[in-house]
Amino acid sequence: MTSGNAAASVVADSVTLLSNTWNDVNSFAYPYDPAGGRPGNTTTYRAAIAAGKGLEFVQVAGTSQDYGTDGGVHNFLRYLESWSGTLYYKGSLVSFFYSQQAIGIFKCCTTVYGPPTRGYSFDSEFLTPALLPPRTPAPAAAARSPPTGWSRAPTTRVSPSISATTISSAAR
């Protein structure tokens, strides 16, 4: 069974999606001004993503409504540009843990990025096991895995083609 798509997955502490117009030079030239030099345009991604989420904490009086939140599911995927188009994402989002590296306070809407129009949808091909990305954990396999939830790929042992009798005959 083929769908014309390649199954892909990303597993990371956090995932930042960049548009087709991203330019590393602009991120250095405009580090605190996404609207001034980091424009984002319509871009499409298709992948399963497993990443950590931010910790929520108590909102401090006098701060914005989203201060202290993790940004919500619509900000699970992170951005650095001032978007003028739509981010089309088709896949599956999973969070099994809290981020360990990307743990700064959530900042919205002009401080770090200008949000895209979000065109998120679940990829129904993930309902067919044969179309899942390689090494996708299965619930039964996860129950048998080490505490991290991940295990090494099984290796195939190759039997030696030389027997002990052949070795002793050659030694004579």
Q: What are the pLDDT digits (tens) for 29-42? A: 887 777 777 888 99
**For the segment 78-130, what is each residue's pLDDT rounded down to a tens digit?**
888 888 899 999 999 888 888 888 776 666 666 678 889 999 999 999 888 88
- Residue 132 lies inside a defined structural domain of this protein: yes
**DSSP-derived 3-state class of residue 32:** coil
Taken in order 100, 23, 18, 11, the sign of the CA dihedral is negative
Task: Decide: 74 and 35 in contact? Cβ < 8 Å.
Answer: no
**Scanning the structure block, which residue is given the tokens 């809407």?**
109
- Return the pLDDT at 171: 45
- Residue 119 lies inside a defined structural domain of this protein: yes
Q: State phi, psi for 138 to the nearest 5 degrees.
A: -100, 150
> What integer is the mean pLDDT of 49-58?
81
User: How far, in Å, CA of 111 to CA of 31, rounded?
Assistant: 10
- Residue 31 lies inside a defined structural domain of this protein: yes
User: How far, in Å, CA of 8 to CA of 113, rounded?
Assistant: 26
- Residue 25 lies inside a defined structural domain of this protein: yes
User: How far, in Å, CA of 137 to CA of 93, rounded?
Assistant: 14
- Residue 71 lies inside a defined structural domain of this protein: yes
- Residue 170 lies inside a defined structural domain of this protein: no
**Scanning the structure block, which residue is given the tokens 């769908």?**
3
Both structure tokens of 164? 């002990």
Query: What's 130's DSSP letter?
Result: G
> How many domains, the chain?
1
- Return the pLDDT at 96: 81
- Return the pLDDT at 86: 94
- Residue 90 lies inside a defined structural domain of this protein: yes
- Return the pLDDT at 156: 44
- Residue 162 lies inside a defined structural domain of this protein: no
Diameter over CA atoms, the chain? 90
Domain span at residue 64 reads 9-150
- Return the pLDDT at 29: 85
**For the segment 117-170, what is each residue's pLDDT rounded down to a tens digit?**
999 999 999 888 888 888 887 665 545 545 544 444 444 444 444 444 444 444
